[in-house]
Chain A
Amino acid sequence: MSHLNVAVDTVGVADATPDEKQPWAELGLKEDEYQRIREILGRRPTQSELAMYSIMWSEHCSYKSSKVHLRQFGQKNPKTPRLLAGIGENAGVVAIDENLAVTFKVESHNHPSYVEPKQGAATGVGGIIRDIIAMGARPIAVMDSLRFGAIDHPDTARVLPGVVDGIGHYGNCVGLPNIGGETYFDPCYQGNPLVNALSVGVLPRSRLQSMQASGVGNTVILMGAKTGRDGIGGVSVLASATFSETGEGDARPSVQVGDPFTEKLLIEVCLELFDAGLVVGVQDLGGAGLTCALSETAAAGDGGMHVDLELVPLRAKGMEPQDILASESQERMLLIVDPAKAEEVLARSRRWGLLATEIGTVTDTGRLVIDFHGQTVVDVPPKSLADEGPVYHRPLAEPNDLQLIAVDRAETLPRPTTPEEIRQTVLDMAASPNLCDKSWITEQYDSSVFGNTVLGTPHDAGVVRLDERTGVGIAISLDGNGRFARLDPYTGAQLALAEAYRNVAVTGATPIAVSDCLNFGSPEDPHVMWQFERAVTGIADGCQKLGIPVTGGNVSFYNQTGRDAIHPTPVIGVLGLLDDVHRRIPLGLGKTGDTIALIGETREELSGSEWASVKHGHLGGVPPVVDLDHEMKLAELLSRLAETEQLAAAHDLSEGGLAQALVEAICHTGLGAQILLPEGADPFTYLFSESSGRVLVVIPRGQELAVRTACEQRNLPITPLGVTDANTDGLHLRDLFDISLDELEASWKGRIGAVLGE
């Protein structure tokens, strides 16, 4: 006896019982959506079909609220021959040279990381890695952008160590270097931490894979972990509860647990299969499990698909067809394979100890048909699931408080004036949660596996060598600033874009592509939707201006507790290209006697700054000005100076301004800096303003004139600030104050561990 207590809801049963009451509302479908399903099918959906539509038409899978805005990326993206695969694929693919391509993507795993921080974060890393594999690439690195509530809130002590443990455990065990990222604290993320994970992979251009289930008669193979009840959400649980009285306990939704060991095997087996030319189509199983993988591959192909669901290897007993379809068990991939090659695919999997099972066939029926023990439980047009979901034009409204906030400028707040007060502000800021040293976190990550990491944390961008022979490599940075986006989502999104772009440029790399992760509150709130629209427009306009395409990304809505949404938080990943990683520009102070200078203009821009937040708990005014023309000139200059090896070091100025950039450069090298601020400059403003488009550079002796000329040719302001000096202890600001290295380190280091009780 298997599950004779429950009659399987087949297509035949559905035909015979058109008036059966169905829990579409509980599954999150609207009445008109349910009616549309009935129209598409010409009958009521079966339980399994209802589960599949509710999943595929959910916000998460269908992008129904964001779609109309995201179209801007496609419309405004600059045309570039580099883009080999873009939005709509598992991850964007960008050509590096004639032979090599790189694929990268950032994705959120916010909600699961709040419920179970370790596993939530771990499975977030696992999911983004499978997107990279699905493009035919070998994953070569990961990064993460993390946001938590206040550092001293008791729940942060639960969430932060768990998230870091999860990212470390998964990434270390699957064998990928973590090459950077960011960590921020703000009370707005208290009940909604943001865990955005990025992965990047490399592939020979000839190995690019597609998700198409094409070729009638081809075999559908499910590879990887067994299917259990992991992550079965509201969906099938509700469906089962209504149709059958399942016992308590077993049917409850359960947390997905990641198994990086199985993921590592998946990487090796998939790459072996791709290289041997054994795969026609491939899709990873992510958030919506088999439902999504089957409908997307079938919809992308040219026919239909037949699946025998009872062939899916199960981990849990008594799973109903809708459970199997909705399960979010991790570490699984779906392959489309020529039947003549299926045996070899299975044999290669066995050799690695990885499960692989034939579960279906590509057909020419134009239908996705799923049988369970010989009874048809699903018979639908696959495009209706994957491509023809609902599209919403949700109302937009500027938040009521925005104009009031705009006039409440941080530039009017009381400031430190005496040298002693400014000195103390430097130390207090260095010790503040968002600016302090993050090595408590980053030391829990492997950074050197593969032996290709040229720059990792705490450099502005991660730099990875792709080819040992030519030295060609990439740089990646991941940046966001929720406070700026709260003040002005359009400008805030562009500031994040500009910062990520500049961080990549600071290493000497040329920015070539973008991936974004858009974290927002509820789309049902017109204010949130307005923020979303402004941010997307800002990114699309910005990328058009900068000439680099958005290649993909992810939207995470509903990041809010009750009526309180998080700050709108677009996180931007920029990918850059370095012809030779030997010429990368590191963070630091170079050698004693080198010149320290500032490129870019410092304006009085304190609204939304770290200083206003730390010292006044203030958020108001308008964010700093963005000048993308300036950013492009700056990036071109830095790339040129890297090529000619005329910079010893460089560091982007961002949160905390010049003061923080100096603290970081000094602590990184242990060298001292003698600094004289320009005549007439207000010391406080010069040190703490967060004007965009600025870079601290260190120029080797003898190159000062060449660098100055290069700046002048591009109409970029450069201001000499001082020199690196091994005999100076820490920071010497002439006519103002001195801070020893010990004192700087005492403030900057150890804060996170101390707050977490270590």
Chain B
Amino acid sequence: MSARVGVVTFPGSLDDRDAARAVRLAGGEPVGLWHDDAALGQVDAVFLPGGFSYGDALRCGAIARFSQVMDTVKAAAAQGMPVLGVCNGFQVLCESHLLPGALVRNAHLRYRNRPARLRVETSRTAWTRLYEPGAEVVFPAKHGEGRYVADEAVLDRLEEEGRVVFRYLDNPNGSMRDIAGVTNEAGNVVGLMPHPEHAVDELTGPSNDGLGIVASVLAHLTGAADTSGVSR
């Protein structure tokens, strides 16, 4: 039986169907979760998709943080359940303090949509274990508020502990230290701004590099020892 990956829909989520497609293409079973329902069903991992939850009012992710489902997600993450946040999902994870730092307005002050070249900095997370450290991947980056910021001390700590997961090769938004994605101490919670779920098929995306994200968590869940890279 394949692993069940829950995909949360908040009011204003946009990429929930795309996240479910990525889970399906990678061999997992997507399960829809509703923001106002605390139950996570029997899912083995949770994917917080991109979008504009609550219209990005106040700060991106600020209102979604208070949803019923996030209480349960927080508790499950503390128990080691893999949680991924992409774009708005990353913003929700930062607002929920599951990940350090914050995502603020792009340095050039505009929404910008470009394919982003990223370096996978570590394979020691639930969501990147099938990538070779140092592998280069291309995911679409498209956001107005994706500039990663944190205190210098926090950034130093992230670097020391190997918790910077993705780094931009051409920083599109002014993120500090070119950070595109980070993880928590345990490596089960990962957030990133670019969209792996929009890089699952060369017909519709700039690459299919994104399949490795879900494939990684499936491997993590089945306890596969295989850590050989699936990517370039």
Contact = CB atoms under 8 A, between A and B. Distances in A.
A, B in one complex: yes
A452 B15 CA distance: 12
Given A168-B111, A451-B21, A581-B203, A261 B12 contact: yes
B204 interface: yes
A262 to B, nearest CB: 8
B112 A444 contact: yes
A447 B55 contact: no
Contacts of A265: 11-12
B220 to A, nearest CB: 24
B55 A261 contact: yes
B140 A448 contact: yes
Given A448-B198, A451-B204, A353 B11 contact: yes
Nearest to B15: A449
A189 interface: no
A450 B18 contact: yes
Contact of B111 (A172, A262, A450, A453): A172
B200 interface: yes
Contacts of A261: 11-12, 52, 54-57
Interface in A69-86: none
A259 interface: yes
Contacts of B18: 449-451
A165 B205 CA distance: 24
B97 interface: no
B17 interface: yes
A175 B14 contact: yes
A259 B55 contact: yes
B195 interface: yes
How many chain B residues sit at the interface, stated as a range, is 20 to 34
A264 interface: yes
A452 B204 contact: yes
Contacts of A677: none
Interface string A287-314: 0000000000000000000000000000
B54 A444 contact: no
Nearest to B172: A443
Contacts of B195: 448
Nearest to B112: A443
A445 interface: yes
Contacts of A448: 113, 140, 142, 195, 198, 204-205
A451 B200 contact: yes
Interface in B1-46: 11-12, 14-15, 17-18, 21, 36
A453 B203 CA distance: 8
B60 to A, nearest CB: 11
A172 B11 contact: no
A29 to B, nearest CB: 39
Contacts of B142: 172, 446-448
A453 B12 contact: no
A449 B14 contact: yes
A264 B203 contact: no
Nearest to B203: A454
A446 B11 contact: no
B55 A443 contact: no
Contacts of B36: 351
Contacts of B21: 451, 468
Interface in B151-167: none
A264 B12 contact: yes
B113 A454 contact: no
A175 B204 contact: no
B209 interface: no
Given A444-B110, A451-B204, A581-B203, A264 B14 contact: yes
B197 interface: yes
A726 interface: no
B114 interface: yes
A444 B52 contact: no
Contacts of B55: 173, 259-262
Interface in A209-266: 259-262, 264-265
Interface in A424-456: 442-454
A443 B115 CA distance: 10
Given A173-B55, A175-B51, A259-B55, A443 B113 contact: yes
A347 to B, nearest CB: 13
Interface in A150-197: 165, 168-169, 172-173, 175
A450 B140 CA distance: 13
Nearest to B53: A261
A186 B34 CA distance: 49
Given A260-B52, A260-B55, A261-B52, A450 B17 contact: yes
A261 B52 CA distance: 8
A168 B110 CA distance: 10
A392 interface: no
Contacts of A452: 204
B48 to A, nearest CB: 16
Contacts of A443: 112-114
A336 to B, nearest CB: 25
A259 B56 CA distance: 11
A454 B204 contact: yes
Interface string A579-592: 00110000000000
Nearest to B115: A448
Nearest to B200: A451
Interface in B37-89: 50-52, 54-57
Interface of A: 165, 168-169, 172-173, 175, 259-262, 264-265, 351-353, 442-454, 465, 468, 581-582
Interface of B: 11-12, 14-15, 17-18, 21, 36, 50-52, 54-57, 110-114, 140, 142, 144, 195, 197-198, 200-201, 203-205
Q: Which 6 A-B pairs have the closest CB atoms?
A: A261-B55, A175-B14, A173-B52, A451-B18, A448-B198, A443-B112
Given A173-B52, A265-B11, A465-B203, 12 more contacts: A259-B55, A261-B11, A264-B11, A446-B142, A447-B113, A448-B113, A448-B140, A448-B195, A450-B17, A454-B203, A468-B21, A582-B203
17 contacts: A168-B111, A172-B142, A173-B52, A175-B14, A175-B15, A260-B52, A261-B12, A264-B12, A264-B52, A265-B12, A352-B11, A447-B142, A448-B195, A448-B198, A449-B15, A452-B204, A454-B204
